Amino acid sequence: MRSIGVSSRSALTFCRVEHEGPLMVVTLNRPEVLNALHAPAHAELAAVFDDFAADPAQGVAIVTGAGERAFCVGNDLKHLAGGGSNERPASGFGGLTFRFDLDKPIIAAVNGLALGGGFEIALACDLIVASSSAEFALPEPRVGLAALAGGVQRLVRQIGSKQALGMLLTGRRVSADEGRVLGFVNEVTAPGDTLSAARRWAERILECSPHSIRATKQAAARGLDEPSLPAAMRAQFDYPAVKALFASGDAIEGPLAFAQKRPPRWKAG
């Protein structure tokens, strides 16, 4: 394992980043404010995920929070009340919520409270692994706001309008177990086991062809924008990641490795 800065950028202040081979683990590191984020933290995280997207050696990322109490509770309201900037990068809250062109999987390891923008970060990830002590909510209407960093749109798409609006219109908190029943949590773990469970998911993903993983994520995401199922199935063959998959030769290497009873030698992503 190696800790890193952000490429040639200055040292990290508001998050920690470790590279474990092709896995990147990002820890939101403001436990004194329950990992609430402010403008400098958003900028730092945006740079981290820019580098992750651009690095062909990196295949999967995990996002978690420092400490035991919170994954992220959203905006740092004390920072804003003190006159701090609310500026965010083009890639959105935490550098993720408006990042629509990343075909590498991201896993949220939610170890406590995921509220407001913190829940929106988790919803922007591809998988959510949650501690049994985790709680999720989009409480913005209770303070005269709305979850417009993707929370409204993603929750409706991920769990359906009736269940989503039941959360959105009340701002109520949902446990990890209920989140799994509703469908936005993939796995619930014992407290303290969340990050190791997220690593297990990442390891399973990393066993697969990186080209296949990116083609699959891109086809799933872009297919939602197509007008019909037949249109989505036709359009997928024009998606860049799908074309890259078939150009890579992994579709030949996979069956060949299976027949020869050896691990596949995937092409680099």
Count Cα neighbours of 190 within 13 Å in the Cβ-side half-sphere. 2
pLDDT for res 112: 97
Q: Which residues contact 91 (CB under 8 A, 6 or more apart)?
A: 46, 49, 50, 97, 98, 99
| Strand pairing report for 187-189 and 106-110 | unpaired
Pick the CATH number of 2-206 from 3.90.226.10, 3.40.50.200, 3.30.1330.20, 3.40.50.720: 3.90.226.10
Among all chains, which residue has been given the structure tokens 């896995």? Answer: 23
Q: Report the distance separating Cα 269 and Cα 245, nearest Å.
A: 9
Domain extents for the chain? 2-206, 210-259
Q: Which residues contact 227 (CB under 8 A, 6 or more apart)?
A: none
Q: Report the distance separating Cα 147 and Cα 65, nearest Å.
A: 20
140 is catalytic: yes
120 is catalytic: yes
Residues of the chain with pLDDT under 70: 1-10, 269
- The single residue of 18, 140, 187, 226 carrying the catalytic annotation is 140
pLDDT for res 81: 86
End-to-end CA distance of the chain: 21
- The single residue of 32, 87, 120, 203 carrying the catalytic annotation is 120
pLDDT for res 268: 79
pLDDT for res 10: 55
Tokens of 185: 């949590």
Q: Which residues contact 25 (CB under 8 A, 6 or more apart)?
A: 17, 18, 19, 61, 62, 64, 195, 199
